[in-house]
Structure 1
Amino acid sequence: MEATDLLKKVRQIEIKTRGLSANIFAGEYHSAFKGRGMTFSEVREYQYGDDIRNIDWNVTARFNHPYIKVFEEERELTVLLMIDVSGSREFGTSFKYKKNIITEMAAVLAFSAIQNNDKIGVIFFSDRIEKFIPPKKGRKHILHIIREFITFTPEHRETNISEALKYLTNAIKKRCTAFIISDFIDDDFEDALKIANQKHDVVALKVYDKRETEIPSIGMIKLKDAETGQYHWADTSNRAVREAYSKWWRETDETTRRLFSKCGVDNVSVRTDDDYVKALISLFKKRI
């Protein structure tokens, strides 16, 4: 991609996603994602209804009158965007590929984080960690991240979500909010997800295409696995073939949903031809 085309693309994404962050998500994001804890603010006289557990006994003894400690929520967060860059993200049958939706959603979250004075970092992963951008603040940092979303080319095409989650657990020492954005076409990552969510606040954003849910009847077609490169022939005019595929999708999707629920991970699914704005707002409101 030429430099002028890249700058234009970055600017287009910035204008759209920054506007969404400022006008739609600002309040919901701030309310939905809490700070790391509470910090001491001041001591004041006890008032009726105050929590007696916050009484400062030293000050109370000194003035012979009850005083309580006042705490404020520590708002600053560290946010990690875990971006699936495996081959399957290049699929799409509507106006956008999965990777386009992933890029826009990630940019919206990045701008929302910056507006909330949070640090933002990125982990690109396939079946291994492709690239790590350490968390920082500022518009310049955000634009660097968006450029990476657009231009980054992974070395590998398969998926290993477990490997990405293990990296998150081991590499990020302080508690953070981690958005893992993927189609979750993978298995055997339950243990890694459970451990990661115990240390961090993990949120799953599943992106999929409508054509992944069912196959139309269009005769004999040649299919390519985007991650392995293998080709398969399928007779889509055969009703049994179509029904078997639809059944596989439903069962796989339901298994993933149950896994998120079991691990206590907030999640939302976004189809490439649907409005991801509504999906994100719905997710934020569930957390408030």
Structure 2
Amino acid sequence: MAMHTQRQAADGFVYVSLAQLMALEFATRELSFFARQPRSSILAGNHASRLRGRGLNFDELRRYQAGDDLRRLDWRTTLRTGKPFVRSFTEERDRSSLILMDQRMSMFFGSTRSFKSAMAAELGALAAWMMFQAGDRVGGLIFNDSQIDSIAPLHSRSRLQVLFASLVRQNQALSVETVADADEAQLDKSLQHCLALAGHDYLICIVSDFAGAGPRTLQLLHQLAAHNDVIAMQVYDPLALKLPKQGRIVVTQGELQIELAVEQRQVRQPLGEFLNGRLKEVAQLLRHSQIPLMMFSTGEEAVLQLRRELGRIIGAPR
């Protein structure tokens, strides 16, 4: 009962709440996956140029007005009437989007600010609100070590609430007392499920630590990206970059837990090399997939990192 109460009283760092995810709507104003990126952005020439964006539908012919783009002049009508006419267009605003959110036991870890599972939930919600505000139909897949919850895309606040409620249920089900019957292929199964759901021109956002990624993962990412826009958000813990010089850490995988004294060089050096090497290995695999990759540390607020990754200048005058 105490554990149930603890999870319901989510602090946003270990467990998330529905109210927390719904409130993130206000943090995504002016954020877009399709905004023009400054040259200094890591996504310049990468993220922005690889996303197909929405199409334009012809709206009407109208008289030229000062400031109109001359490239939109309709020469036939202009020559026939002797007066300049331009074509006006409206942007398509009914794209379908899917967000894959990882809530496996490999995500239930954090050494600094928050757990990877909580960070992934927050990033998934931020992405969902961005898509919703762009006029997209939003759905998603939430997966843990044994199940995949599927929410069909719809442009509706109530659908987002259903999506977030499913995410919160899986997030709050995570526990150190859980005996994880981990399926190493669960990430690939989720990608395969997404491939079956997505048609053409979907926007697909994958939020995960990508534990267990391998050649099959790369193949599925290639297949998804062939006809859709795919973005990868890799969540990692700062411990993977630099181990502390003193103290002890607990490493767990399913039922097995081992306490390691990191002040011992023979422990710290190989463990640090393994964690750092694994992080780089996964990041390299994702880059080989040629899909835009954004990396998020659990040691910093999600929205601040998202703004930076999208090329925003924090604190700039508006």
8 A contact 1:223–1:234 mirrored in 2: yes
- Give the 3-state SS of the residue equivalent to 1:92 in structure 2: coil
1:36 corresponding residue in structure 2: 54
Percent of aligned pairs with the same amino acid: 20
- Secondary structure of the residue that 1:184 maps to in structure 2? coil
Superposition pairs of residues 81-96 of structure 1, within 5 angstroms: 81-96=99-114
Q: Which runs of 5+ in 1 are unaligned?
A: none
1:221 deviates by 7.0
Q: Which amino acid aligns with 1:207?
A: V
Report the equivalent of 1:18: 25
- Runs of at least 5 residues in structure 2 that lack an aligned partner in the other structure: 11-15, 36-50, 175-179, 313-318
State how far apart, in whole Å, the 2-side matches of 1:104 and 1:213 are: 22
Conservation of the 8 A alpha-carbon contact between 1:179 and 1:203: yes
> Could you say which residue in structure 1 is the equivalent of 2:211?
185
More displaced 10-residue stretch of structure 1: 110-119 or 266-275: 110-119
Question: What is the aligned counterpart of 1:103 among 121, 132, 155?
Answer: 121
Which of 113, 120, 135 is 2:131 aligned to? 113
Instruction: State which of 9, 17, 34 in structure 2 corresponds to 1:9.
Output: 17
TM-superposed deviation, 1:83: 0.8
Q: Secondary structure at the match of 1:93?
A: coil
Aligned partners of 1:91 and 1:98 also within 8 Å: yes
The 1:129/1:60 distance shift into structure 2, 3 A limit, reads farther
* Deviation digits for residues 17-67 of structure 1 (CA, Å, limit 9, x no counterpart): 12212xxxx222174377431211122468997338x8575x578658886
Deviation at 1:256, TM superposition (A): 2.9
Pick the aligned partner of 1:196 from 224, 242, 253: 224
| Compared CA separation, residues 219 and 103, structure 1 to 2 (3 A) | closer
Quote how far apart the aligned CAs of 1:262 are. Answer: 3.1
**1:79 equivalent among 97, 105, 118:** 97
Q: Aligned partner of 2:102: which letter?
A: D
TM normalised by structure 1 equals: 0.78
The Cα of 1:110 is off from its aligned counterpart by 2.0
Q: 1:276 to 1:151 in 2, by over 3 A?
A: same
The letter for the 2-side match of 1:157 is: A
User: Is the alpha carbon distance of 1:30 and 1:111 closer, same or farther for their aligned partners in structure 2, counting shifts above 3 Å?
Assistant: same
1:157 and 2:174 matched = no
Supply the distance in 1 between the matched residues of 2:219 and 2:182 (Cα, whole angstroms).
23
Q: Is the 8 A contact 1:225 1:231 kept in 2?
A: yes
Letter in 1 for 2:275: W
Matched residue type, 2:227: K
2:134 maps to a residue whose letter is N
Counterparts of residues 1-288 of structure 1 (less than 5 Å): 1=4, 5=8, 9-15=17-23, 17-21=24-28, 26-29=29-32, 31-32=34-35, 35-44=53-62, 50-51=70-71, 55=74, 69-126=87-144, 130-152=148-170, 153=173, 157-160=182-185, 161-188=187-214, 189-216=217-244, 223-226=251-254, 229-231=255-257, 236-285=262-311
Larger relative helix fraction: 1
For 1:222 and 1:109, the matched residues in 2 are separated by 32
SS at match of 1:28: coil
SS of 2:226's partner is helix
User: 1:114 offset after TM fit, Å?
Assistant: 2.4
Cα distance in 1, alignment partners of residues 135 and 155 from structure 2: 7
Q: Distance in 2 between matches of 1:62 and 1:270?
A: 57
Deviations 1:46-93 (A, max 9, x none): 8997338x8575x57865888654333213332211011211111112
Q: Could you state the TM-score of these two structures normalised by the residue count of structure 2?
A: 0.72
Equivalent pairs counted in the alignment come to 276
Which letter maps to 1:143?
Q
Verify the 8 A CA contact 2:137 2:155 in the aligned structure 1: yes
Amino acid at match of 1:80: L
Q: Which amino acid aligns with 1:201?
A: D
Q: Relative to structure 2, which stretch is displaced further, 277-286 or 168-177?
A: 277-286
